[in-house]
Amino acid sequence: MGSSGTTSAARVAELERQLATSEAARIAAEARLAASEAARARSEEALARLERMIAQLRRDKFGSRSEKASPDQQHLPFEDVEVAEGMLEAASEEVDKALGDRKTSPRKEKRNKGHLPAHLERVAQVIEPDSTLCPCGCGEMVKVGEDRSERLDVIPARFRVLVTVRPKYLCRSCDGASHVQAPAPEWLVPRGLPTEALVAHSMVSKFGDYLPFYRQADIYRRQGIDLDRSMLANWSGRAAQLLDPIIDHMINMLKRSDHLQMDETTVPVLAPGTGKVRKDYLWAILRDQRGWGGTDPPMVVFHHSRSRSGKVARDLLKGFAGGTLMVDGYTGYDSLADPKQTARPWDIAYCWTHWRRRFVKFGQDTPSPICEEMVARVSQLYAIEKEIRGKDPETRRAVRQKLSKPIIDALLPWLEARLQDLSSASDLARHIRYGLKRWDGLTRFLSDGRLEMDTNGVENAIRPIPLTRKNALFAGSDDGAETWARIASLIGTCRLNRVNPEAYVAATLRKILDQHMQSDIDELMPWSFAE
């Protein structure tokens, strides 16, 4: 009996040991399974992130860079179809003429009658009948009316030669001792070929219309004018040197403004002695008070630098009055609000468009109710902004406090709740944290009617730089990049003030060459120009 009990106890102990081993193995297997599930989830998240990155790269390469569709871009694929349609219509009209009196279905005519600008030159072409004699033999017919139609014509850009003649006068009674001749006018290029109008045309074509000098030289060559690319560049450099005081005056005026926008973009610059292209930056500082009815004219000033660091931003804003600066979420601007790093700290306001764009792009790759709801709520804010654009600051502030603030107050807890439901490593959670981290700057516009909700103004002003960069490939030197920045400042400010930059540059160069007084430099500002 004792031996049997001992055996049973040993067997029970063995079974318990096996059971404990099995339980430990089961727990270990479950742990491995959990780890595998976590690893699989991370892999799926990484895969989804890579797929979104690839999709975004495809859109950046081949699609629109803005979440707002452009009508012109939507119609672009149909242009060739419309050309073919025009050929078909022309062929159909020929058939109609051949059929003579057969009835044909009426076509909708595409006309711009009544929409041609009144300032365009009108050249009348009167087409009289072969005879105005009555076929019944009654004599000459009387004019009782006329049909008029207008068509838009163009005279291609053409060159002409301005010949400056300075007659010499001599007194024959004084044995030639007395003589007179008008002094030679000051020219941009001494004894050179170009007029101010030609140089202005070349400058604006390159820095405003994205047409590099070598392409301009090819165009000129079609009319038998051989102008070397380097010659066009030299002329533009001479003009830029004369225009420097105007741009310096613009910068001084900008320093007195207390509500500005700032952004930056890359610009390729040829590194001396290396044969390689370096990635530099053009920084843009914008003043635009049109949104709240301010009296200061809009202007934009560009600066070239080799770096994108916050120190560059601090150096560029030295001597400014300070105030509120609207920027995107780039951390390089954070030091501008730090009293330890900036003599006159700025109140930083952040751009809603940059934050909204994150949800738009995420939703394009991964359908998400959170993204849809976020975009819808921000759209409500923009609908309010549309209604108050151009009104005085106090009205804008009051409307924002009444209508926009409740939307934003409800948005904050909703985002915080969504953040709790998402994995901390997910891209969507990162996009939400982007805005929550900058909440004070994003909501600053609610209490200041002079602020916009976004940096769209400076982004629009900076947009020609990438287009010029794409066509011109790179700037040849640091001096070339700085000249690029300064000329772009002048042309960009002309555009903001709806001034023809080519006419402005030509007229301003002539005034400077005619010894315009430095004390009257305000008269030379783009917003003071009248054609």
Instruction: Tell me the average pLDDT across 268-286.
Output: 80
- Report pLDDT for 347: 93
Cite the beta strand spans of 178-232 per DSSP E: 179-181
Q: Which residues contact 116 (CB under 8 A, 6 or more apart)?
A: 150, 152
Return the closest-CA partner of residue 308 out of 269, 276, 280, 348: 280
How does strand 277-287 pair with strand 259-270? antiparallel
Residues 355, 435 contacting (CB under 8 angstroms): yes
How far from chain centre, in Å, is Cα 224?
36
Helix axes 464-472, 478-496, angle to 10 degrees: 140
Tokens 């160069």 correspond to 509
Report helix angle 464-472 to 196-207, nearest 10: 100
Amino acid 69: pLDDT = 42
Q: Which residues, other chains included, contact 301 with Cβ-Cβ below 8 Å and sequence gap of 6+?
A: 247, 250, 251, 254, 284, 285, 489, 493
| Count of other CB atoms within 10 angstroms of residue 112 | 9
Q: Is 444 helix (H, G, I), strand (E, B) or coil?
A: helix
By three-state DSSP, how is residue 142 classified?
Answer: coil
**Which of 130-134, 344-348, 404-408 is predicted with the least confidence, judged by mean pLDDT?**
130-134
Helix (H) / strand (E) element for 312: namely: helix 310-316
pLDDT digits over 58-104, tens only? 665 555 555 554 444 444 444 444 555 555 666 676 666 666 655 55
Question: For residue 282, which of 297, 293, 270, 268 has the smallest C-alpha distance?
Answer: 268
DSSP-derived pairing of the beta strands 277-287 and 299-305: antiparallel
Report the residue count for the chain.
531
pLDDT digits (tens, 9 = 90+) for 146-205: 888 887 777 777 788 888 888 988 887 777 678 888 888 888 888 788 889 999 999 898
Summarised one tens digit per residue, pLDDT across range 26-67 is 888 888 888 777 777 766 666 666 666 666 666 655 555 555
φ, ψ (nearest 5 deg) of residue 302: -105, 145
Q: How far is CA 279 from the centre of its chain?
A: 19
User: CA dist 52 to 38, 364, 431, Å?
Assistant: 21, 9, 14
Average pLDDT of span 205-209? 86
Rounded to an integer, the average pLDDT of 370-374 is 92
- State the pLDDT at residue 271: 72
The conformational region for residue 323 under phi > 0 = left, psi -120 to 50 = alpha, else beta, is left
Cα gap 235→201, rounded to integer Å? 11
What is the pLDDT, as a whole number, of residue 313? 92
- Residue 436: its pLDDT value, please? 93
Higher pLDDT, 382 or 473: 382
Q: Which residue has the higher pLDDT, 75 or 426?
A: 426
Does the pLDDT at position 322 exceed 60? yes
Percent of the chain surpassing pLDDT 90? 35
Closest residue by Cα to residue 148 from 114, 115, 119: 114
Query: Bridge partners of 262?
Result: 285
Cα–Cα distance between 73 and 63 in angstroms, integer? 9
- What pLDDT, on a 0 to 100 scale, did the predictor assign at position 143? 85
Asked whether the beta carbons of 348 and 333 are under 8 A apart, the reply is yes
Q: How far is CA 69 from CA 74, 75, 344, in A?
A: 7, 11, 40
Q: Given this model, what pLDDT does residue 78 score?
A: 45
Round to whole Å and give the CA distance between 181 and 168.
5
- State yes or no: pLDDT of 220 exceeds 70: yes
Token representation of residue 121: 């030159």
Please state the separation of Cα 359 from the chain's center in Å: 21
DSSP state of 450: T
Work out whether the CA dihedral 410, 412, 415, 417 comes out positive or negative: negative
| Confidence check: pLDDT of 500 > 60 | yes
Predicted local confidence at residue 94, as pLDDT? 67
Extract the tokens encoding 122.
């009108």
| Whether residue 386 has pLDDT greater than 70 | yes
What is the DSSP annotation of 107-118? ------TT-S-T
CA distance 155 to 162: 19
Distance CA 60, CA 169 (A): 69
Question: Terminus-to-terminus CA distance in the chain, angstroms?
Answer: 124
* pLDDT at residue 76 in the model: 42
What is the structure's pLDDT at 134?
Answer: 86
Residue range 353-360: average pLDDT? 92
Q: What is the mean pLDDT of residues 241-259?
A: 92
pLDDT category, 297, cuts 50, 70, 90? very high
pLDDT band at 398 (very low <50, low <70, confident <90, very high): very high
pLDDT digits (tens, 9 = 90+) for 454-493: 999 999 998 877 776 655 555 556 677 888 888 889 999 9
Q: How many angstroms separate the CA atoms of 375 and 128, rounded? A: 63
Among 112-116, 331-335, 517-521, name the one with the lowest average pLDDT: 112-116
Whether pLDDT at 136 is above 80: yes
HSE value, Cβ hemisphere, 13 Å, CA-based, for 224: 3
Amino acid occupying residue 483 = T
| pLDDT higher than 90, residue 501 | yes
φ, ψ of residue 309 in degrees (nearest 5): -70, 160
- Say what angle helices 196-207 and 501-513 make with each other, to 10 degrees: 140
Residue 32 is predicted with a pLDDT of: 81
Burial track 19-48 (b if 16+ CB lie within 10 A, e otherwise) = eeeeeeeeeeeeeeeeeeeeeeeeeeeeee
Output 16 or 317, whichever has higher pLDDT. Answer: 317
